[in-house]
Structure 1
Amino acid sequence: MTPNQIEYLLRSIRILETVGRRGSFSAAAQELGMTQPAISQQIAQLEHVLGLTLFRRLHRGVTPSDAGQILHTAAADMLARMRTAMTAIEASNVQTNLTVLTDYGFAANWLLPRLADFESQHTALDLCLLTTQARQTGAASDQADISILFGKKPDAAAGACFQLFAEEVYPICSPRYLAGMEPVTSAGDLVRGRLLALDSPAQNWFTWEDWFRLAGHPMRQAGSRNSLLFGNYPLLLQAILHGQGIGLGWRPLIDDYLQSGQIVLAWPEPIRSERGYFLSVNAERKNLASAFRQWVVEQARSSPFSTAQ
């Protein structure tokens, strides 16, 4: 069958179904955007090819013959199947996966414990969680729909990027460790404890030296008796949980541990900066990311210390 023949057959099926359903050449012509004579001619040609009378012409409208009714039913069924198939194809081409880029600490200590709530509300959406060591804000990565990264407040030109959490850093330890220390009456008293620190602190993260200086007790004056260094923050956090000493804790990464009582604040006053966690959406995928963005903002706002807009 040639392309022209295929086109003729498909057009004839469409016209046959419409005429049979509307019961009038004029009504079918109006629906299909054709003229009444063109519809009449198309049906006449089809009847000639088949050697059958498909419609009986009445004073007003038409009615299908027995053969016409059989073909109309088959045509209507075929078109319905094609519409169903096209709908399925279109649905299969719709992106249903959402890629979120963040750092490991935010993913492990804040996002993952809450993610089941989002998945229960959006069961058809598949999440892909990417982690990075980057500490910078700005537009979402090309490979991600949404980025939640730590860094400085972006310029106004950075686009749709806004702050979820401001940087707040507290000295934290386990309840058992705090109970075994002498009473802490000033920030400077913390130097008597075992200070847990990163061996190679990532750029833009506060160090113990920063903390004591901003708290008004320069570390060089106090002098630390001992310390324990770690290569990454997850290991340091585990050491804190196991009562090995005092470390620095970033909100919101420590919120769940504080709420559960696994860790406590060794000193209640934090140090702060203009840095924090900022959320940005890939402009090309903003429609897909809107549900996740709204959910993250609501989760952030539920925190008593949230700075989410």
Structure 2
Amino acid sequence: MRRLPPLNALRAFEAAARHMSFNKAAEELNVTPAAISQQIRAVENIAGVKLFRRLTRSLLLTDAGQFALPAMTEGLDRLAEGYRAMRRQEEAGVLTVSVAPSLGAKWLVPRLERFRARHPEFDIRIDASDRLVDFHRGDVDLAIRSGAGEYEGLTAHCLMSEFAAPVCSPALMQDAQPLRQPADLRHHTLLHSQWRMQHAFAPNWRMWLKAAGLTDIDAEHGPRFSEDNLVVQAAIAGQGVALVGKAVAAADLRAGLLVHPFGPPTRESHAYCYYVVYPEADADRPKVRAFTDWVLEEAKETEPS
């Protein structure tokens, strides 16, 4: 714990000692000479020493003042250097986006080139993580998360509605026990996303089977994976039937690597939402605004599919 007088008081002392003038210090800091004098008295009272000898037409530093000045000047210079480094980070346009790994790999990353073409001034960083983001500690500018959208102190835009539906390899449609209707799932392995089983808002096999009226199928049995993209890969390999969102499965469905075994899913069932989230105070930052506008446009264009 650093025991220091107020920073403004230290700045007043350093400027006055460097110029040997309250008036010149006041001009540099854009305050009145009386304010400089008041700040210096505050430092003297806290430290318990005199820093200046106030003569009729001049100032003289005391021994304590002379000893402190070089360290104070160096310290304030280092603070200014740190502030310039922060500004360089902002001006360099480094934009860090935290996104859930599956959505990042399957939906966001394939589209990033369009953002870079529109905003070459920003150097984007992708942090693929499901961990909670503390925007006040670290360098994440925005996060994309699924959830309820109620985040205290944060602005949240619904990026796109999402719904979960069964997907599998086309090979399972020609299996000895082909998938034709939901009841056929009793003959196949269910592939599970661990995170779906841990969050109330996320559709999982337990919810899906209950909605389908299938009470004789074990909704807990089968391999479990930490991320949806791992479940998708297992489904592509023919290891079972996965329950995943459209954003994660869309590219593989278009490529024919996956199919919906029970026909096109409806939008109304098993729905939730992805959100773009950032601190309320950052709404007008150019890079935050640019990415938010772009990613919402991307989601709007792909939403109908």
* Coarse TM-score class (shorter-chain normalised): 0.5 to 0.7
Could you say what the CA RMSD is over the residues aligned between the two structures, in angstroms? Answer: 3.2
TM-score (ref. length: structure 2): 0.60
SS at structure 2 position matched to 1:116: helix
- CA spacing shift, 1:258–1:106, aligned 2, 3 Å: same
| 1:112 equivalent among 109, 112, 124 | 109
Which letter does structure 2 place at the counterpart of 1:241? I
Distance 2:288 2:90 in 1: 17
- CA spacing shift, 1:226–1:144, aligned 2, 3 Å: closer
Q: Which residue of 1 aligns with 2:279?
A: 282
Which letter does structure 2 place at the counterpart of 1:151? G
TM-score (ref. length: structure 1): 0.59
Q: Which residue of 2 aligns with 1:66?
A: none
Distance 1:236 1:100 in 2: 24
The residue correspondences of 1:22-101 to structure 2 (distance < 5 A) are 94-101=91-98
Q: Which residue of 1 aligns with 2:210?
A: 213
- CA spacing shift, 1:190–1:298, aligned 2, 3 Å: same
SS at structure 2 position matched to 1:253: helix
The residue correspondences of 1:135-284 to structure 2 (distance < 5 A) are 141-142=135-136, 143-154=139-150, 160-180=155-175, 182-198=177-193, 201-204=197-200, 205-218=202-215, 221-223=216-218, 227-268=222-263, 269-270=265-266, 272-273=269-270, 275-284=272-281
Structure 1 residue ranges without an equivalent (≥5): 4-89
| 2:121 equivalent among 124, 149, 160 | 124
Kindly state the Cα deviation for residue 300 of structure 1 after the two structures are TM-superposed: 0.3
Kindly state the Cα deviation for residue 215 of structure 1 after the two structures are TM-superposed: 2.2
Kindly state the Cα deviation for residue 160 of structure 1 after the two structures are TM-superposed: 3.0
- CA spacing shift, 1:290–1:232, aligned 2, 3 Å: closer
Structure 2 residue ranges without an equivalent (≥5): 1-18, 20-86
The answer to whether the 8 Å contact 1:181/1:193 transfers is no
- CA spacing shift, 1:250–1:294, aligned 2, 3 Å: same
- CA spacing shift, 1:226–1:154, aligned 2, 3 Å: closer
- CA spacing shift, 1:255–1:158, aligned 2, 3 Å: farther
Q: Which residue of 2 aligns with 1:73?
A: none
The answer to whether the 8 Å contact 2:203/2:271 transfers is no
Distance 1:130 1:92 in 2: 17
Distance 1:105 1:225 in 2: 22
- CA spacing shift, 1:160–1:299, aligned 2, 3 Å: same
- CA spacing shift, 1:164–1:141, aligned 2, 3 Å: same
Kindly state the Cα deviation for residue 231 of structure 1 after the two structures are TM-superposed: 4.5
The answer to whether the 8 Å contact 1:154/1:161 transfers is yes
The answer to whether the 8 Å contact 1:194/1:225 transfers is no
Kindly state the Cα deviation for residue 238 of structure 1 after the two structures are TM-superposed: 1.2
Which letter does structure 2 place at the counterpart of 1:214? A
Q: Which residue of 2 aligns with 1:301?
A: 300
Which letter does structure 1 place at the counterpart of 2:297? E
- CA spacing shift, 1:251–1:181, aligned 2, 3 Å: farther
- CA spacing shift, 1:192–1:114, aligned 2, 3 Å: same
Per-residue CA deviations over 1:281-306 (Å, capped at 9, x if unaligned) read: 33343322111111101110112447
User: Identical aligned pairs, as a percentage?
Assistant: 23
The answer to whether the 8 Å contact 1:177/1:244 transfers is no
Per-residue CA deviations over 1:121-166 (Å, capped at 9, x if unaligned) read: 22221111112224x7xx98333222110111427x7653121222
Kindly state the Cα deviation for residue 273 of structure 1 after the two structures are TM-superposed: 4.3
SS at structure 2 position matched to 1:265: coil
The answer to whether the 8 Å contact 2:141/2:288 transfers is yes
SS at structure 2 position matched to 1:267: coil
Kindly tell me the number of residue pairs found equivalent between the two proteins. 213
Kindly state the Cα deviation for residue 225 of structure 1 after the two structures are TM-superposed: 12
Distance 1:294 1:224 in 2: 40
Distance 2:236 2:223 in 1: 14
Q: Which residue of 1 aligns with 2:33?
A: none
